[in-house]
Amino acid sequence: MEIADFDRSANVVSLFLARADALGEAPMLRAKQGGQWTAISWAEAARRVSLLAASLRRLGLNPGERVLIVAENRPEWCIADLAIMAAGCVTVPTYTTNTTRDHIHILENSGARAAIVSTAKLGKALLPAIVQTDMCRHVIGLEPLVPMQGGAYETHLWDELLEGGDAASARLEVDARMAAVGREDLACIIYTSGTGGAPRGVRQHHGMLLSNVAGAAEVIDQDFGWDQGPEKREIFLSFLPLSHAYEHTGGQLLPIGLGGEIYYSEGLDKLAANIEEVRPTVMVVVPRLFEVLRTRIMRQIEKQGAVAERLMDWAVAGGLRQQSGKRRLTDYPLNMLIERTLRPKVRARFGGRIKALVSGGAPLNPEIGVFFDAMGLTLLQGYGQTEAGPIISCNRPAAGVKFDTVGPPLRGAEVRIAEDGEILVRGELVMAGYWQNEAASSNVLKDGWLHTGDIGHFDGKGRIAITDRKKDMIVNDKGDNVSPQKIESMLTLQPEIAQAMVSGDRRPYIVGLVVPDADWAFEWARDNGEHFDFRKLQDLPAFRTAIRAAIDRVNADLSVIEKVRQFAFADEPFSIENEEMTPSLKIRRHKLKDRYGARMDGLYKV
Task: Read off the pLDDT of residues 26-46 as tens digits, 9 standing for 90 and up.
Answer: 999 999 998 999 999 999 999
Q: What angle do CA 126, 127, 133 make, to 5 degrees?
A: 95
What is the average pLDDT across 285-290?
Answer: 82
Q: Which residues contact 431 (CB under 8 A, 6 or more apart)?
A: 202, 203, 204, 205, 208, 386, 387, 388, 389, 445, 450
Which one has a higher pLDDT value, 420 or 595? 595
Proportion of the chain above pLDDT 90, given as a percent:
56
pLDDT of 197 higher than 70 = no
pLDDT of 519 higher than 60 = yes
- Residue 183 has phi, psi (to 5 degrees) of -65, -25
pLDDT of 82 higher than 60 = yes
pLDDT at position 196 = 52
pLDDT at position 557 = 86
The dihedral built from the CA positions of residue 368, 373, 376 and 381, taken in this order, carries a sign that is: positive
pLDDT at position 606 = 58
Q: What angle do CA 137, 143, 149 make, to 5 degrees?
A: 45
Residues 217 and 6 sit within 8 Å (Cβ to Cβ): yes
pLDDT at position 245 = 92
What is the average pLDDT across 433-461?
Answer: 92
Residues 417 and 424 sit within 8 Å (Cβ to Cβ): yes
pLDDT band for 540, please (50, 70, 90 cuts): very high
Dist. CA 389–CA 357, nearest whole Å: 19
Q: What angle do CA 115, 262, 143 make, to 5 degrees?
A: 35
SS3 content of the chain, % helix, strand, coil (to 5): 45, 20, 35
| Mean pLDDT of all residues belonging to the chain | 90
Which one has a higher pLDDT value, 396 or 186? 186
CB atoms within 10 A of CB 528: 12
pLDDT of 229 higher than 80 = no
Residues 9 and 210 sit within 8 Å (Cβ to Cβ): yes
Q: What is the pTM of this model?
A: 0.81
pLDDT of 55 higher than 70 = yes
Report CA-CA distances (Å) from 228 to 88, 172, 216, 234, 370: 30, 27, 16, 7, 30
Write out pLDDT tens, residues 391-409. Answer: 999 998 877 778 888 999 9
pLDDT band for 193, please (50, 70, 90 cuts): low
Q: Which domains does the chain have, with CATH numbers?
A: 4-218 (3.40.50.980), 282-352+354-469 (3.40.50.12780), 474-605 (3.30.300.30)
Write out pLDDT tens, residues 101-148. Answer: 889 999 999 999 999 999 999 999 999 999 999 889 999 999 998 888
Listed as own residue / partner, the contacts of 188-191 with beta carbons closer than 8 Å and 24 or more positions apart are 188/81, 188/85, 188/90, 188/91, 188/92, 188/93, 188/248, 189/66, 189/90, 189/91, 189/92, 189/110, 189/435, 190/92, 190/93, 190/243, 190/244, 190/245, 190/248, 190/386, 191/92, 191/93, 191/94, 191/106
Dist. CA 91–CA 470, nearest whole Å: 31
What is the average pLDDT across 149-153?
Answer: 80
pLDDT of 480 higher than 80 = no
Dist. CA 316–CA 299, nearest whole Å: 15
3-class SS of residue 184: coil
pLDDT of 326 higher than 90 = no
